[in-house]
Amino acid sequence: MFLKNLKMLGAILFLSETLLANSLALDDVYKQALEKAESLRISESELRVSEVQTDKARSDFFPSLSLNSSYLRQNKILPSVNEYDQQVTKLNFSQSLYAGGKDSSMVNAAKANVKSLFYKLEESKNSFYIQVAQVFYAQLSAEREVENTKKSIELTKKRLEELDRRKKIGKSRNIELLAAQSQLSILEAHLLASLGELQVAKNNFYLLTGLDSKISLKEDASLPQENRDLKTLLSSLEQRPDLLALNSHLRSTEELVGAARSGFLPNLDVSANYYLSRTNSSSNAPDWDASLTLTIPLFSKGLTSAEVKEAQERRMQAELLLNQKRRNAETEIKSAYHNFMSFLEQVKALEKAVVATEQNYKQQERDYRFSLATNLDVIQALNTLDETKRSLDKTRYQALYAAAILKATVNELKK
């Protein structure tokens, strides 16, 4: 019998270790959910598109070479060749030598846009981490609520058994038994509600992460303790991806102002043709030709001025948006920090309250056995203990969620 119990205990321990090994912590869930998040895949695709646009902008620095073939036919004889038709095949080379700096400005603007989209992607990952943390701790909190309610039901059933025994020997009244039965019914109804909330939490977890809601979630063993002060956290403000993205966007708009101003400047282009074949052409036709083209803008009915003004306004908008976001980011860090610290203090207070209410419940039970307390006193003490434990668990998960928000807000995720 002893060996049988020992084997059963070993099997239970093995199963517990297996479940613990297969359970996922918040960071594990986040990493796996990243691979399934369609919105982030779209952002990555947009980043790749912007990189291609940079390559397109660079192409203006390189010459173009093309093979052209043309066939001409008229209803009258061409005087130069005394024929009705003519065919020409040539290689054409063209290169922009100077475009008022527009080409370099467009390349720099495209590079800045790539950086902006890259930082936006990083910011999206931070926001996604907060969303994952929300559904992660919501499911854990719902699971703990179900577990706590089941324990309360178990305690109440034991209370009913004791009251039933005491009633049989005349030490308890029927009203005490009815009160405990009412308490049990309330707890069973609460359990049904908690199971429903748990199912909703699991559905939300699956919807966001794409992971099976049946996987085991592993909560943090202890709350993180914030040892840094707010000033240290605010020192990393300018390294937030959203501010870096707006800084890059501002640089992009500044380059576009330069590109617009290039419309006031002349352009210089070189072009050359090498004729591979000419049918029905004169015998003294050249084998090649080259040309330099200088274009000086004189009048465009204010088009260039309008484009410059538009680019300047967009640059001003980008600067204003950056200043606004900087203030918002500072407020977000302060709020996240104070919120986290507030929950830490609440957890500490509730931990002390749980110890006190548990001692009170045990004392009421002892006093009841010696007829120094009523059954209602015991039930009230049990309800207070249950409510305090629920408050502690709920606040603890809120603190963990607040810690995740602070971690993402100051950009401290492990990429």
pLDDT in tens, 297-339: 988 878 999 999 999 999 999 999 999 999 999 999 999 999 9
- How far, in Å, CA of 310 to CA of 308, rounded? 5
pLDDT number for residue 282: 64
d(CA 264, CA 115): 29
Domain range for 250: 25-64+100-266+301-409
**15 pLDDT higher than 90:** no
In a domain, 90, yes or no: no
| Neighbouring-strand partners of residue 29 | none
Question: Residue 323, CB half-sphere, CA atoms under 13 Å: how many?
Answer: 6
CA distance 163 to 13: 36
258: closest CA among 186, 190, 307?
Answer: 307
Q: What is the mean pLDDT of the chain?
A: 87
For β-strands 267-279 and 83-98, DSSP reports them as antiparallel
Decide: residue 29, CB within 10 A, 0-12 exposed, 13-18 middle, 19+ buried.
buried
In a domain, 82, yes or no: no
Rounded to an integer, the average pLDDT of 24-51 is: 92
Q: What is d(CA 264, CA 60) in angstroms, rounded to the nearest whole number?
A: 19
Give me the CATH number covering residue 393: 1.20.1600.10
pLDDT of residue 12 exceeding 90, the answer is no
Which stretch of DSSP H or E encloses residue 223? Answer: none
Q: What tokens were used for 74? A: 């008229």
Rounded Cα distance between 374 and 111, Å, is 77
Q: Position 297: which residue type?
A: P
pLDDT of 182: 87
pLDDT in the model for residue 90: 93
| Residues in Cβ contact with 115 at an 8 Å cutoff, skipping those fewer than 6 apart | 244, 245, 248
| 395 falls within a domain | yes
Distance, in Å, from the CA atom of 216 to the CA atom of 406, rounded to the nearest integer, reads 25
The domain total for the chain is 1
Q: Is residue 210 part of a domain?
A: yes
pTM above 0.75, yes or no: yes
For the residues 32-41, what does the mean pLDDT come to? Answer: 90
Query: Which among 146, 142, 138 is positioned nearest to 191, based on CA atoms?
Result: 146
pLDDT, one tens digit per residue, over 213-271 is: 778 998 876 777 766 789 989 998 999 999 999 999 999 999 999 999 999 999 999 99
In this prediction, residue 5 carries a pLDDT of: 46
Q: Do the domain assignments include residue 365?
A: yes
Instruction: Give pLDDT, residue 167.
Output: 73
The Cα 393–Cα 316 span in angstroms is 49
Instruction: Determine, yes or no, domain membership for 193.
Output: yes
Residue written as token pair 């996240």: 336
Q: pLDDT digits over 121-154, tens only? A: 999 999 999 999 999 999 999 999 999 999 989 9
In a domain, 69, yes or no: no
Residue 375 forms part of a structural domain: yes
- In this prediction, residue 81 has a pLDDT band, given cuts at 50, 70 and 90, of low
Predicted confidence at residue 377, as pLDDT, reads: 86
What is the identity of the amino acid at 152?
S
